[in-house]
Structure 1
Amino acid sequence: MPTVATRSSFLGDFDRDIGNVQWAADGKGLYFLYNDEGDSKIGHITMNGTVTTLAEGLGGLSLGRPYNAADFTVSNNGKFAYTLGGTQHPSDLAVADKKGSQRLTFVNDDLFSFRNVGDVEEIWWNSSFDDRKIQGWIVTPPNFDPNKKYPFILEIHGGPFQSYGSVYSAEIQAYAAAGYVVLYSNPRGSTSYGAEFGNLIHHDYPNHDYEDLMSGVDTVIEKGLCGYQQPLCHRR
């Protein structure tokens, strides 16, 4: 079911960047796309500032790395078509209305029927710099054996005003298929966590994003997944 938050003015304290803004057919509100903690969503705002989340789990348009990238259209009767993302498959087509959502296509099932994909686990940790909560994702090799130790890659996104998310990434999956445990994350300066978090690197980059990242590395090592105390770092 949609979640609703009441705002005091137009967008008010809705602290997320928005895009793909479209008027509702009745002219009484706007639909928009936004990213929230690594998840792309469709939102609606009325003229009095009430914001409703209508669909989640959008994505699948950035095949190489797990950047949040999605699209949607809305019909005159309030139904949506959108790109459905996920960690286990690239973009498919889905539809949604106020009653729920439905996946329509399974475009790559023929490929994934004979390919093993690495599991993706969302994790959070506290930065060693200021104890701020940081979000990331661990990807383990296909047929992962928890009794083995694996080499480790830390994948750092560019931007810096960008966000990774719970979406499919061919590049990350290629690392996992080669036998690596991979961590990707959204350190300070990333979008989808609000203006304050994104602007922590303003006139201060690179700096404490390093502690955010290395605290994530320590978290993965503490889980006992990796055989190296120093990760192989891969930065884009």
Structure 2
Amino acid sequence: MFFKEFYHFINNVCVDETSKLSEVSCGYNFSRQLAEAAVEIKTTIASSNSNVKENSTHESEISNNLPFGCEESDLSKVLKKEEIDKLIESYGPVATEKELYIAFYYYNKHLNNVFNKMMKTLLERYETYALRCNVPHETRMKYLLACEDGLTNDLKIMNHYAFEYLATYLENEQEHRTIKFKLFLSLHNWTWNKEMQESERKWSKYFVQKIRHKSRKHHHRRDHPGKEPSGKEQSGKEQSEKEQSGKQL
């Protein structure tokens, strides 16, 4: 099962117990294993998208049933990335499950902010592209909302699995060393960015193809009232759209 492989990777990667992660001794292997783990996580998430429910108990939002004895006040702060790093350092060499959960909650919240900024920028670029293609307002909004919903759902799925990974990590760790937890966060950051990039590519391709298709039909109807593009013409242009969609935004 993937979670076991995930824990095995975290548990066996080379770590310098006396100081920081030894980048000289294991930097190459660490990067390679991160890449392999990212592919495994991507496959797991992609195959399970349809099974994620709205009422997931491990979303990044604060719930009424907080784990590890956490209080709402523990999770209601606004922390910058540097402050999260300082929080983890303050735990010393070994931390409690409660402390690690709090640190992970804020770290994951930081990653959510990164995703939301990406989504805002992306939707603005989509709208600019659609305007440039002279697509009607209603059509433009239809596909913008579809992309926004899709990106939001991708974020929800990423959060669901993020907290599942954390639960697996905590369950398998007998001694919660902060240096190993930092390694866990590095892997989480790596896979999060991979999934975020994949989400961006997926919805950019979708939007460009839809807008190009609608733009072509709109201009054809304007120039040739009552006449639709021929099947051969449409098929050839759709193939061209697929090849060019990743280069438009």
Do these two structures clear the TM 0.5 threshold for a shared fold by scoring above it?
no
TM-score between the two structures when normalised by the length of structure 2: 0.20
Structure with more contact order per residue of length (Cα contacts < 8 Å, sep ≥ 6): 2
Which protein shows a greater Rg? 2
